Structure 1
Amino acid sequence: MNGVITAIAVVKFVILLLGGGITYIAFKAYRRTGADSLRVLGVGFGIITLGAILTGVANQFFSVGLALGVLINSLFVALGLAVIMYSLYIQK
């Protein structure tokens, strides 16, 4: 079981790096272009990344069960994807 816990921690760290990178690049592009869709895109990826990290922390440090952690993570992913979809829809 320790191997699985370690693997989850490593994957959550990779998600933090990749999600944080995408969020940063989207906000950097927004500042350069002023396109609202890029700002909203960054928010969407930020929500997904935040959800992954929060559920990992909740599971490791606050003994939140796996099922509840998956549910919370899924809610963050759904919300983040909805925001990303909206960012693709809006026009300047």
Structure 2
Amino acid sequence: MDPALATVLVVITSAVVLVLGGVVTHLAYRAARRSGSPVMRRFAAGFGLVTLGLLLGGGAHQLLGWRFLDGVLLQRIVTVLGFGLLVHSLYSHADPEPASRS
């Protein structure tokens, strides 16, 4: 594949992932606020970190002039933290008291 085409495709797919990840994060955050659930807050934060990882990795490479692999490593570290938080939120015990529906 032509390197210029590959670059354009990486940028386009990254933008789509950022938009979709942002939407999922926003919806999870709204659900967390509505329910008052700490589990949902951790879930929203996990999705936020996964999405942020892509932004930070690409930004470090493109905007800060980091080497490509250094940017990828930063992305992977933040993504691992995000997925760890997602797993933690899914394996957490249910909230002791459901939020009141006012």
Give the TM-score taking structure 2 as reference length: 0.82
Give, in whole Å, the separation in 2 of the partners of 1:33 and 1:84: 17
Percent of aligned positions that are identical: 33
- The 10-residue stretch of structure 1 (79-88 or 61-70) with the greater mean CA deviation from structure 2: 61-70
User: Which consecutive residues of structure 2, in runs of 5 or more, have no partner in the other structure?
Assistant: 96-102
Specify the structure having the higher radius of gyration (Cα).
Answer: 2
Report the structure, 1 or 2, having the larger helix content. Answer: 1
Runs ≥4 in structure 1, deviation > 2 angstroms? none
Match 1:55 to one of 29, 54, 57: 57
Q: CA deviation at 1:89?
A: 2.0
Q: CA deviation at 1:38?
A: 0.9
- Count of aligned positions: 92
Give the TM-score taking structure 1 as reference length: 0.90
**Aligned residue for 2:72?**
70
Match 1:40 to one of 39, 42, 48: 42
Q: Which secondary structure state, in structure 2, belongs to the residue aligned with residue 70 of structure 1?
A: helix
Larger RCO, structures 1/2 (Cα 8 Å, 6+ apart): 1
User: Which consecutive residues of structure 1, in runs of 5 or more, have no partner in the other structure?
Assistant: none
Alpha-carbon RMSD across the aligned residues, in angstroms, is: 1.2
